[in-house]
Amino acid sequence: MELSDVMRTCRAIRRYTDEPVSDELLMDCLRLAVCAPSGSNQQKWRFCILRSAKIHQLLGKTYKQGWADYAAQMKLERPSADDASRSARFIRSMFELVENFDTVPAYVMFCALRTPFMEELYTGASIYPAMQNFILAAREKGLGTVITTWYRLCEEELKELVGVPEGWVVAALLPVGYPKGKFGPIKRRPAEEATCIDHWDATLSNPE
């Protein structure tokens, strides 16, 4: 599969089968993650594969609560099964993700070492190219994932369970598994609609 094909079919996966994901397969993806560019080649990153029952229990409870709070604020309810609209499919996938978050085969937590006198991740942003490398590698190997951040609702307890040392920042937590359904192709607005030149309102079709 060409890299461009991987990118064009790499959508957020929120529904997973119960098929196990081996540590070696995750390591294959992480070996490509560390190929990402790193500021001053310092490689101030740490990748935590999480499988323990305690972590699954903590994250399952937290993500259900995070989604419940968000859905209440946004007035979201589970759509009917016969609603095939894009928004309905997305909302159903979110319900399935949080309802089954504690049964996801594995999580990978991406951490970066913080420079003490700098703002959070100010000098640790190299974690994001590494994360994208991991996502693309996972897609190429038939695995699905999605970037999540509701771990922040239980971050201190999670860091204590994992033994994250002082000074390390959690950038994101990714559930990983074999997807239910298909990967793509993805649907995106044209890049031209999201691109400006020199000024926010200056586009390719409407230059200043």
| Highest mean predicted confidence (pLDDT) among 79-88, 123-132, 157-166, 188-197 | 157-166
Residue 43 lies in a domain: yes
What is the average pLDDT across 66-80? 91
Print the domain residue range for 70: 3-194
33: domain CATH number is 3.40.109.10
Other beta carbons less than 10 A from residue 151's beta carbon = 22
Model confidence band, residue 97 (pLDDT cutoffs 50, 70, 90): very high
Residue 126 lies in a domain: yes
- The answer, yes or no, to whether residue 30 has pLDDT greater than 80, is yes
What are 161's two structure tokens? 């369970």
In this prediction the pTM is: 0.91
Handedness of CA 86, 15, 137, 152 (dihedral sign): positive
How many structural domains is the chain composed of?
A: 1
Residue 61 lies in a domain: yes
What are 133's two structure tokens? 């490398």
Residue 200 lies in a domain: no
The beta strand positions in 55-134, using DSSP E, are 106-113
